[in-house]
Amino acid sequence: MATINDNYLKLKAGYLFPEIARRVNTFAEANPDAQIIKLGIGDVTEPLPEACRTAMVKAVEDMGDRATFKGYGPEQGYLWLREKIAAHDYQARGCQVDASEIFISDGSKCDTGNILDIFGKNNTIAVTDPVYPVYVDTNVMAGHTGPANEAGEYAGLTYLPMTADNDFTTELPNQKVDLIYLCFPNNPTGATATKGELKKWVDYARENGSIILFDAAYEAFITDPTLPHSIYEIDGARDCAIEFRSFSKNAGFTGTRCALTVVPKTLTAKAADGSDVDLHKLWSRRQSTKFNGVSYIIQRGAEAVYSEAGQAQIKGLINFYLENAKIIRDKLTAAGIKVYGGVNAPYVWVKTPKGMSSWEFFDQLLQTVHVVGTPGSGFGAAGEGYFRISAFNSRENVEEAMKRITEKYKL
């Protein structure tokens, strides 16, 4: 008799967004005239930059000619793309990352999940709370946790709360942890980490033999020039950190799919016999076995992000979303609502007014002003009492949603 991976039965997942959809649908059916504005989902709305589209069209033409046709590409990604990433995203910022340490993939979501393939079963794991649910659920699936409690916290995981009480910073855990997931600028809170903050983690990781899994999906939204864009801006990070980046949020590739993971060749972890094993080799082995590379056409599109036109166009996109975030921040603040984030990130993290729970505020906004956001409690127990509003939307929708909220909440 075939059996299943019972760890899947522990998952609370699939709860948050389906529950939002259920409540929105129920409301919409009962109120067919309500113009609902969705500021909930973390997906981009603006079209792909022209430079990327042009490069992809040209690449399609390459595929139509026997002389330039491409079959299987290198599993690690084409060198011309990896060299551009190494030069622009890393070496230009003083980070020692070589093209050979970069792995092109079809998404950071997949990579942050798949990376567990190369780690042992008995690692202790730390995640922030609130958290991007992928880090937690993939550990649940891999059997690294016990069951979840009422608040959705899994036994065996170390949660690092990030709330207004600690200024949305992460505190070092009391117990030793082996794998640490950090995401800055943060989804969902929009919080950032200073160089000092990241140095604290790098020092901790080096002292304890831990590995930091650093998700920099939103680095392009950093406006404060003192903030680090990469964990490798911190001395010693090459010995303790893997970094994930994506073209999804900076260049609008959420539906196109291209991302990258950096595994420095200086990074090792312990084998059962106590020897040090090179993680770059393991990830390379994992990818070349289970992954066959990103489409040539898409990699040409990603390469165009680094052209002069591409750089100008993605800057335009990011500024557009950041301007949305500023409108959201300003209007909510004027309405007497406390907001965080949204300056170096496309997410505004809202303190629910009058001590409402995250879901109470969700229902109130939906029912009174027909605006949908994401309840903070869906991202973790410490997200209770908060609410995420995404800047990924049209200007018109953002302005209309803020007008409605301001009218309802103004003092």
Residues that bind ligand PLP (CB under 6 A): 42, 107-109, 132, 183, 187, 215, 217, 246, 248-249, 254, 259
State which residue, 253 or 409, has the beta carbon closest to ligand PLP. Answer: 253
State which residue, 20 or 369, has the beta carbon closest to ligand PLP. Answer: 20
Closest distance between ligand PLP and the C-beta of residue 39, in Å? 15
Strands 157-161 and 179-183: unpaired
Report yes or no: 340 and 168 within 8 Å, Cβ to Cβ: yes
State which residue, 214 or 232, has the beta carbon closest to ligand PLP. Answer: 214
Backbone angles phi, psi at 314, to 5 degrees: -70, -30
State which residue, 231 or 259, has the beta carbon closest to ligand PLP. Answer: 259
Read off the tokens for 336: 């007497």
| Residue 148 DSSP class | B
Cα distances (angstroms) measured from residue 386 to each of 198, 328, 341: 25, 15, 12
Closest distance between ligand PLP and the C-beta of residue 218, in Å? 7
Q: Which helix (H) or strand (E) holds 108?
A: helix 108-114
Closest distance between ligand PLP and the C-beta of residue 390, in Å? 10
State which residue, 256 or 268, has the beta carbon closest to ligand PLP. Answer: 256
Q: Is residue 130 reached through a cis peptide bond, with omega within 30 degrees of 0 on the bond before it?
A: yes
Question: Pick from 43, 41, 38, 16: which is nearest to 372 by CA?
Answer: 38
Q: Which helix (H) or strand (E) holds 331?
A: helix 308-334
Report yes or no: 386 and 22 within 8 Å, Cβ to Cβ: no
Closest distance between ligand PLP and the C-beta of residue 221, in Å? 11
Closest distance between ligand PLP and the C-beta of residue 195, in Å? 20
Can you tell me whether residue 38 is helix, strand or coil?
Answer: strand
Q: Where are the alpha helices (DSSP H) in 181-276?
A: 195-208
Residue nearest to ligand PLP (CB): 107
Partners of 262 in beta bridges:
102, 243
Closest distance between ligand PLP and the C-beta of residue 164, in Å? 21
State which residue, 245 or 280, has the beta carbon closest to ligand PLP. Answer: 245
Give the integer Cα–Cα distance in Å for 135 and 127: 7
Closest distance between ligand PLP and the C-beta of residue 108, in Å? 4
- For CA atoms 322, 163, 227, 238, the dihedral sign is negative
Closest distance between ligand PLP and the C-beta of residue 111, in Å? 8
Closest distance between ligand PLP and the C-beta of residue 67, in Å? 32
CB atoms closer than 10 angstroms to residue 213: 24
Give the chain's largest Cα–Cα span: 68
Closest distance between ligand PLP and the C-beta of residue 286, in Å? 17
Question: Pick from 218, 211, 213: which is nearest to 191 by CA?
Answer: 218
State which residue, 132 or 321, has the beta carbon closest to ligand PLP. Answer: 132
State which residue, 293 or 331, has the beta carbon closest to ligand PLP. Answer: 293
Backbone angles phi, psi at 180, to 5 degrees: -125, 120
Can you tell me whether residue 391 is helix, strand or coil?
Answer: coil
State which residue, 199 or 249, has the beta carbon closest to ligand PLP. Answer: 249
State which residue, 107 or 376, has the beta carbon closest to ligand PLP. Answer: 107
Question: Pick from 211, 198, 200, 217: which is nearest to 242 by CA?
Answer: 211
